[in-house]
Amino acid sequence: MTTKIYATDAYATDMQTQVLQTDVDDGRVLLDKTVFYPGGGGQPHDIGTLSIGDDQLEVVRVTADADGVWHWLEGSLPSAGMTVHGTIDWNRRLKLMRTHTALHALCGVIWNRYQSPVTGGNMQPGEGRLDFDLPNWTADEIPIVEALLNEELAKRRTIQVSFLPRDAADVDPSLIRTKVNLLPKGLKEIRVIDIVGLDRQADGGTHVSDTGQVGRITIPKAENKGRGFRRIRIRLGDA
Ligand SMILES: [Zn+2]
């Protein structure tokens, strides 16, 4: 099983580790520990490089399964037992962390103003979208929500990562709107991301450590997806 460094330290950019298993057919290796996020919860997987001695291989894809985290490589694969050094594309990841954090802040702002839960979402480095059930929404709300969101981000709210036993998470009312019930049954421990005072969610992704690092956000548009569902798009100010 791979130790998931990204789950406890989102700012770790590289690691020295060992190859646990090599899958020649798929061109991928399982590593003992990793800083590479395998994707999930709308956040894309990391990309980067793996160095073995003087050789450098591109990590083009990262996935996770019951065995751990798989790194899909371009080139000839290192063998099990070899020591490798991995580095993520940090510029891209930091943009994803800022975008991901902005989306959580948007959840908090929408919840506080309308008590509407999020129903879906996705992101790329620098921009993202969330879907909400917002029957009484009009386009006049866009600048208001944008201003509220930037106000909250400017408060430099701390973002805390913690782990809750599954049964405690199941009965935590503040986590219900993030649909803990939809998480896989086998999950014994729930990772919780808390933008202190604004939004608390069960989440596997990577986030910045305070909302001030997100910078300013714009909302270029909100689309009507029918039956009261709205898709709100956000963009980092420097994206
Ligand atoms: Zn999230």
β-pair type (189-195, 159-165): antiparallel
Q: Is 109 helix (H, G, I), strand (E, B) or coil?
A: helix
- CB within 8 Å of 202: residues ≥ 6 apart: 169, 175, 178, 179, 180, 183, 190, 191, 192, 193
CA–centroid distance, residue 43 to ligand 1 (Å): 8
Q: How far is the CA of 200 from the centre of ligand 1 (A)?
A: 10
Residue 104 CA to ligand 1 center (angstroms) comes to 6
How many whole angstroms from 99 Cα to the centroid of ligand 1? 10
- Span from the CA of 167 to the centroid of ligand 1 (angstroms): 21
Residues (pLDDT < 50) of the chain are none
Say how many Å lie between the CA of residue 80 and the centre of ligand 1.
Answer: 33
User: How many whole angstroms from 41 Cα to the centroid of ligand 1?
Assistant: 6
SS3 category, 110: helix
Report the side by side order of strands in the sheet with 189-195. 159-165, 189-195, 199-202
Residue 16 Cα to ligand 1 midpoint, Å, equals 28
Distance 50 CA to ligand 1 centre (A): 27
- What is the model's pLDDT at position 178? 56
Q: How far is ligand 1, taken at its centre, from the CA of residue 35, in Å?
A: 18
Distance of CA 153 to the CA centre of its chain: 17
Residue 15 Cα to ligand 1 midpoint, Å, equals 24
Report CA(178)–ligand 1 centroid distance (Å).
10
Question: In angstroms, what is the span from residue 34 Cα to ligand 1's centroid?
Answer: 20
Q: Which residues contact 77 (CB under 8 A, 6 or more apart)?
A: 22, 24, 27, 28, 29
| Helix, strand, or coil (residue 108) | helix
DSSP 3: E
pLDDT of residue 166: 84
